[in-house]
Amino acid sequence: VRMPVQGHGQDARAIRGQNGVLEIIVFDRAGHILHDGTEAVALFNAEVRPTLMSMLDQGKPIEIEANNEARVAVPIKVGDHVLGGIEIVVSLAQVTANTEWLRRALMRIEESNRATLLTALALGTTVMAVLGALVGIAIAGGLIRPLKDISVFARRVGQGDYDAPLSVDRSDELGQLARDLRQMATDLKGFAQHS
């Protein structure tokens, strides 16, 4: 059984053009090379190595690493019938370089993610600090202003101005203090008038 050369030739050239692929051969069941991935098909009809023929007989892929190359041969089957095979030789140096490039790319992504996380943490901390400050200002505004008004009122009453205004009108302890001080000012006014 002979396989058509045209389709395999195009595929073989495309694969051989990939980075790190040193050699590719497509061969038939008889061990004749149908395409070698070059335009010239230099090895056309040459015989394949005995190792590849034994791979065809077993019908199982083989892998061999030697001389900084990796050879992978895979049978081409239709059902259980082996039509031929394909062998690809890849440069392990190129695979290592590609792996190193990928490792560096992943490290850059990791560093970018780390920087993004640190930025998010810094932004989150800043937002929490601002919110805390705003809450503090709101609480302080709710306490400091009434205490300041009460202090001014007490000073004016101490100077004899018993009718001084006190605008603290709350239902909490500060409101009760303001009511008590107003009552005290009224009592002092009455005492002062009696005297």
Answer yes or no: is pLDDT of 50 > 60. Answer: yes
> What is the number of alpha carbons within 13 Å of residue 122 lying toward its C-beta?
6
Per-residue pLDDT of 28-47, as tens digits, reads 888 888 877 766 566 666 77
Query: What CA–CA distance (Å, rounded) separates 181 from 194?
Result: 20
Q: Write the CB contacts of 97 (distance below 8 Å, at least 6 apart in sequence).
A: 20
DSSP label at residue 19: T
Average pLDDT, the chain: 80
How sure is the predictor about 10, in pLDDT bands with cuts at 50, 70 and 90?
low
How far lies 22's CA from each of 43, 63, 124, 169, 174, in Å? 15, 15, 53, 90, 88
DSSP label at residue 91: E
Three-state secondary structure call for residue 76 = strand
What local confidence, expressed as pLDDT, does residue 185 receive? Answer: 87
Answer yes or no: is pLDDT of 181 > 80. Answer: yes
Q: In the block, which residue shows the tokens 């890849």?
A: 90
Mean pLDDT calculated for residue range 119-127? 89
Which alpha helices (H) appear in the chain, and where do they start and end?
Answer: 5-16, 50-58, 92-158, 173-194
What local confidence, expressed as pLDDT, does residue 157 receive? Answer: 87
